[in-house]
């Protein structure tokens, strides 16, 4: 089943079972390096399709996944996540509220396929000026990082239950 636009997504995921897996298609503006001098600044959009994510009702899902990974790598499960850098969790949901916007917190299992657009026209990723690299935190020394992202609800184009 597919869900479109934010109200359906908000209603559907307000009362999930921890660990629910879904596939997402979402769009996001790409923040580039180089400031105003970058000719591509504020003009690049990324559309990702087929991302397999897991949803949890609390930040404990992230904590558990990182510590499980540490144990699987033969390390001590001693990871303690820091305080949220921004936003506030909506109690008992996978949502993060920040200002007037709501975000879906996801743990990525498969990143899906992304396409980039400059002023609405598809562009090769290599042609984008100032595309930053994504970096994950230390996660207690975990080698196979747990990728966690918060996606603005209004950016979600489709959701398919996995």
3-state helix/strand/coil string of 45-114: EEEEEEEEEEECCCCHHHHHHHHHHHHHCCCCCCCCCCCCCCCEECCCCCEEEECCEEEEEEEEEECCEE
Chain segment 129-159, per-residue pLDDT in tens = 999 887 767 777 788 888 899 999 989 999 9
Q: What is the dihedral of CA 84, 96, 130, 47, to 10 degrees?
A: 150
Chain segment 115-137, per-residue pLDDT in tens = 999 999 999 999 999 998 877 67
Residues 91, 89: Cα–Cα separation, whole Å: 6
Residues of the chain above pLDDT 70, percent: 95
pLDDT greater than 50 at residue 2: no
* pLDDT value of residue 78: 87
């Amino acid at each position: 089943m597919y869900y479109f636009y934010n109200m359906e997504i908000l209603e559907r995921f307000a009362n999930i079972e921890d660990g629910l897996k879904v596939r997402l298609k979402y769009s996001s503006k790409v923040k580039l390096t180089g400031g105003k001098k970058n000719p591509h600044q504020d003009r690049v959009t990324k559309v990702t399709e087929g991302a397999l994510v897991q949803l949890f009702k609390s930040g404990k899902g992230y904590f558990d996944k990182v510590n499980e990974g540490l144990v699987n790598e033969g390390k001590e499960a001693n990871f303690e996540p820091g305080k949220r850098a921004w936003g506030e969790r909506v109690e008992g949901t996978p949502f993060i509220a920040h200002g007037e916007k709501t975000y879906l917190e996801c743990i990525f299992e498969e990143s899906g396929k992304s396409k980039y657009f400059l002023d609405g026209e598809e562009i090769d990723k290599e042609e984008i000026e100032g595309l930053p690299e994504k970096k994950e935190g230390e996660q207690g020394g975990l080698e196979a990082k747990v990728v966690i992202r918060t996606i603005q609800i209004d950016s979600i184009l489709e959701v398919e239950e996995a």
